[in-house]
Amino acid sequence: DAGVIQSPRHEVTEMGQEVTLRCKPISGHNSLFWYRQTMMRGLELLIYFNNNVPIDDSGMPEDRFSAKMPNASFSTLKIQPSEPRDSAVYFCASSLGTSGRNEQFFGPGTRLTVL
């Protein structure tokens, strides 16, 4: 079975450019999460969706960040305009969203470098 798929795996861009990160959750999962990992701040939740609806975006750092989930099999995280401090590894994760253990399965991450 395919796990969570993220693209691109690596992205290098210049300050001010628009960046779009993509995620395909595990088929059948109805919750999707975007996290960011940096040395300084560790792993932070940015936003999550249940059944394609954004539930909590309080972790989105600024209005420059936006996320969408147009259908159950696809989500995007967009940064416009990008800044050097946005450099990080961005993880997408999905889960079944039912009661119980409900562990989150992480994608391989996108390593973003903003010059």
Partner 1 sequence: AQKITQTQPGMFVQEKEAVTLDCTYDTSDPSYGLFWYKQPSSGEMIFLIYQGSYDQQNATEGRYSLNFQKARKSANLVISASQLGDSAMYFCAMRLSGGGADGLTFGKGTHLIIQP
Q: Which residues of the chain form contacts with partner 1 (CB under 8 A)?
A: 30-31, 33, 35, 42-45, 48, 50, 55-56, 59, 89, 91, 93, 95, 97-106, 108-109, 111
State the minimum distance, in angstroms, from the CB of residue 82 to partner 1. 21
The nearer residue to partner 1, 14 or 56, going by C-beta atoms, is: 56
Nearer to partner 1, 82 or 95 (CB): 95
Tokens 């989500």 locate to 75
Q: 69, 32 in Cβ contact below 8 A? A: yes
- For residues 4 and 107, is the Cβ–Cβ distance under 8 A? yes
Name which of 46 and 79 has its Cβ closer to partner 1. Answer: 46
Both tokens assigned to 94: 């999905």
Closest contact distance (angstroms) between CB of 113 and partner 1 is 14
Q: Is the CB of 65 or the CB of 91 nearer to partner 1?
A: 91
* DSSP code per residue over 17-71: --EEEEEEPPTT--EEEEEEEETTTEEEEEEEEETTEEEE-TT--STTEEEEEEE
Q: How far is the CB of 81 from partner 1 (least distance, A)?
A: 26
Q: Shortest Cβ distance from residue 46 to partner 1 (Å)? A: 9
Structure tokens at 5: 């798929």
